[in-house]
Amino acid sequence: MDVGVTVVPLKHPSRPGQQGLDPTRPTERVAIIGAGAGGSSAAFWIAKAKERYGLDVEMDLYERNDYVGAVSSTVLHPYNNADLRPIELGASIFVEVNKNMWRAVDEFGLERVSYKDANTVMGIWDGSQFVLSTGGSFYSNLTSLVGALNWTSLTSCTAAEFLDAEDINPQWTRELVEAATRVNYAQNVDSIHALEGLCSLAATGASSVKGGNFQIFEQFLERSGASVHLNTTVISRAYRAVVLAAPLHQAAIYISPPGFAEIPPPQPYVRLHVTLLTTPSSSHNPARFNTNDSRVPTYIMTSYNGVRQHVSPDPDFVAMAFHGQLKNADGELYQGVHGEEHVVKIFSRQRLSDEWLEGMFGKVGWLLRKEWDAYPVLTPTTTFPSIKLARGLYYVNAFEPLISTMETETVAARNAVDLLLREELGASICPPTDHQTNASISTGKDFVLGWDC
């Protein structure tokens, strides 16, 4: 994605009050780069400010792909059949404490569905055996924020180091906790920082949007009024401000003129293979798991601990799960090329061959492979990229080395937009309020910052 962005700040920008901009002043234009969770919600937050302040500001959103949602994109339909239920390819779940995602589903009239079937059996595979089986206000600097929240001890060490220091059983950490960090971020507990390791454990009550999570971000954009330019790879235009909501280095974005902005260091990403398929088999091949027992778990996470202890090879996959039978939109069973079929999703660090898949499932019907930079590598650190890279240039993805989820992208976008509005347009997402009169609202359990102000 080759994007040249020129930000032209006004020499003497006015500072409009709560009533809005001077009506004689020309319309302001803001560019947003990226149509994922961060970019789409940034447009939505600006629209909220326009509504509340009467701002005369227009938005252009640019996305190099021909779809909205980035890693939240959905494989539309198995067998390319529009009558079949779609399958999430990337970011799959959110929970009730993810207040922006949860609120958006309700506000936009979408429907939540439980992520796992009630009959799901979970197991943790270490390469040779199953080790377990079961039935607020804006901020301008992330490093300062981490210190203010007393999170430095969590981001400066690995999840394993933190939990070991808390006298947590090392085996529990390196098997159960590691299964969560691997399925969520494809990283081990002795490499991922402790804050994100703990976030990986917070998936109780996970949900997704019926038909695909990308619908939330489509609605963010539809309700923002932004001019959306999909499949667009070149920008040559001056803007009052730019919200960069895409990974700077991975997206091959360049900023001109040279030296204009503070360029953050490259952020490495985990290269992940996602394999989606349908199969008439209702379970994994027991022989591939050194057992004759047909009751192989239908949802398999993995641990690296067998490799650490030199007793097991590295598992071939990061996570592998059955996601129910292939059905149409009305919930009726669908006949694939092999009759009734089951849907399977696999995450792995390398491409899984056709022979590997056939050995695991026997016959395979529909098959789709995707390789991408799925997650930032979240090693321990105490410093983070700047949110404001230059006058009028704000970087949503500065938040990713701290926490990387759909929800935190919307939070980071809200913060970046608030900084932009305050510094460039003398406004904000929420007008100033009397804290005394607003106390009952802001402390209510249903209050969501930005939505309710």
Q: Are residues 96 and 102 in contact, defined by beta-carbon separation less than 8 angstroms?
A: yes
pTM for this entry: 0.82
Per-residue pLDDT of the chain (453 residues; tens, 9 = 90+): 334 455 444 333 333 333 333 334 446 889 999 888 899 999 999 999 999 988 889 999 988 877 776 655 556 678 888 888 777 776 567 777 788 888 988 898 888 776 655 567 778 888 888 877 765 456 777 887 788 778 898 899 999 999 999 999 999 899 889 988 898 888 999 999 998 988 888 766 677 777 778 888 888 889 999 999 888 765 566 788 999 998 888 777 777 777 778 889 889 999 999 999 999 999 999 999 888 777 788 889 999 988 998 989 999 999 999 988 998 878 889 988 899 999 999 999 999 999 999 999 999 999 999 998 888 999 999 989 999 999 899 999 999 999 888 888 999 999 999 999 999 988 999 987 654 444 444 556 788 899 998
Q: Give the helix ranges, DSSP H, for 156-213.
A: 159-165, 170-172, 178-185, 194-199
Q: Are residues 283 and 298 in contact, defined by beta-carbon separation less than 8 angstroms?
A: yes
SS3 content of the chain, % helix, strand, coil (to 5): 30, 25, 50
Class of the CATH domain delimited by 4-70+210-268+379-442: alpha beta
Say how far apart CA 129 and CA 126 lie, in whole Å: 6
- Domain locations in the chain? 4-70+210-268+379-442, 116-135+139-204+269-376
Say how far apart CA 318 and CA 316 lie, in whole Å: 7
Burial class of residue 284 (count of CB atoms within 10 Å of its CB; 0-12, 13-18, 19+): buried
CATH code: domain 116-135+139-204+269-376 is 3.90.660
Task: Pull the structure tokens for residue 221.
Answer: 């954009």
